[in-house]
């Protein structure tokens, strides 16, 4: 008892310190537990777990965008009676036909033929000392018929005319094996054999007919003018597969295929 009386203050202070230490240890576990509880609350309430929505079906939208990107043509010419009522016209033989049947669309192309540049060796001319060569030049695309006929040109090595330059002569001068020519219009270098003409397609002509007036056109070239169905046309292009006519009143072009 004497011991307790003498040291009760120290003993009481020890119990208080022990209790304080116990409270501090308890607070550590309490704070951690409270923090874990707050984290769970944040996950469950503030950021709840939700199932992801399925992808939107954009098929109809994509199809609509595809249709908008592709052109949609309205035909207000052929077969349309609201914007273009049918017109009728009398032909030369007295028949009444739709005016649409009198346009260039009913032209029938019957033939397309090529027009050539033709080069030939016509003669080897010699006077005993000098050798010259006579070349035939046929330009079927020339503007006038006179210029389309064969023209002859004398030439020696290095000579130049309005069609070609004689660059070289292969073989013996009196009996050459070949000639090297440079064409002036294209700059192309070609080989001309004495026994074989050189041919190059430069353009085409077209034969066609217009049945409503029973008219036939032969050998028409680019730039030629023709008239039928009360309209004037000009030939603007002829190639191996097609003839193109242009209406001189409005510039409308009509392509006409050739089907041999």
pTM of the predicted structure, to 2 decimals: 0.60
Strongest mean pLDDT among 27-36, 64-73, 119-128, 193-202: 193-202
- Joined together, the tokens standing for residue 222 give 């680019």
pLDDT at 212 > cutoff 70? yes
Task: Please list the alpha-helical segments (H only) found in the chain.
Answer: 2-41, 59-69, 145-148
Over residues 33-85, the pLDDT tens digits come to 777 777 776 666 665 666 777 888 888 888 888 877 777 676 666 665 666 56
pLDDT at 195 > cutoff 90? yes
Written in H, E and C, the secondary structure of 166-213 is EEEEEECCCCEEEEEEEECCCCCEEEEECCECEEEEEEEEEEEEEHHH
pLDDT at 249 > cutoff 70? yes
pLDDT at 189 > cutoff 80? yes
Residues 6+ apart with CB under 8 A from 78: 100
Q: Which of 74-78, 120-124, 143-147, 232-236 is least confident?
A: 74-78
238 burial (CB, 10 Å; 0-12 / 13-18 / 19+) is buried
- pLDDT given at position 48: 60
CA Rg, the chain, in Å? 50
The DSSP call for residue 8 is H
Q: Do 118 and 136 form a contact (C-beta atoms < 8 A)?
A: yes
Over residues 77-120, the pLDDT tens digits come to 666 566 656 666 665 556 665 555 557 788 999 999 999 999 99
Confidence grade of residue 246 (pLDDT, cut at 50, 70, 90):
very high
Q: State the chain's mean pLDDT as an integer.
A: 84
pLDDT at 2 > cutoff 80? no
The residue among 83, 64, 107 whose CA lies nearest residue 259 is 107
The residue among 138, 70, 111, 76 whose CA lies nearest residue 207 is 111
Higher pLDDT, 211 or 154: 154
42 burial (CB, 10 Å; 0-12 / 13-18 / 19+) is exposed
Q: Which of 16-20, 29-33, 91-95 is least confident?
A: 91-95
- Joined together, the tokens standing for residue 190 give 């070609």
Which run of H or E residues covers position 125?
A: strand 108-126
């Amino acid at each position: 008892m004497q011991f307790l009386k003498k040291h009760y203050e120290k003993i009481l202070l020890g119990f208080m310190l022990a209790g304080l230490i116990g409270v501090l240890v308890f607070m550590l576990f309490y704070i951690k537990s409270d923090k874990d509880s707050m984290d769970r609350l944040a996950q469950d309430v503030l950021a709840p777990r939700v199932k992801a929505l399925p992808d939107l079906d954009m098929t109809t939208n994509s199809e609509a965008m595809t249709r908008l990107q592709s052109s949609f043509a309205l035909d207000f010419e052929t077969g349309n009676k609201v914007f273009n009522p049918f017109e009728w016209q009398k032909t030369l033989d007295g028949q009444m036909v739709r005016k649409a049947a009198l346009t260039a669309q009913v032209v029938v192309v019957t033939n397309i033929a090529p027009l050539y540049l033709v080069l030939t060796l016509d003669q080897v001319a010699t006077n005993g000392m000098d050798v010259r060569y006579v070349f035939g030049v046929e330009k079927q695309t020339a503007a006038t018929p006179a210029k389309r006929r064969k023209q002859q040109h004398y030439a020696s090595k290095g000579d130049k005319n309005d069609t070609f330059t004689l660059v070289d002569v292969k073989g013996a001068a009196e009996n050459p094996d070949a000639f090297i020519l440079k064409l002036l219009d294209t700059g192309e270098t070609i080989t001309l054999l004495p026994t074989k003409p050189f041919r190059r397609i430069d353009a085409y002509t077209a034969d066609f007919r217009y049945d409503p007036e029973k008219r036939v056109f032969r050998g028409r070239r680019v730039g030629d003018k023709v008239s039928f169905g009360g309209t004037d046309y000009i030939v603007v292009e002829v190639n191996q597969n097609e003839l193109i006519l242009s209406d001189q009143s409005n510039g409308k072009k009509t392509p006409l295929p050739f089907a041999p």
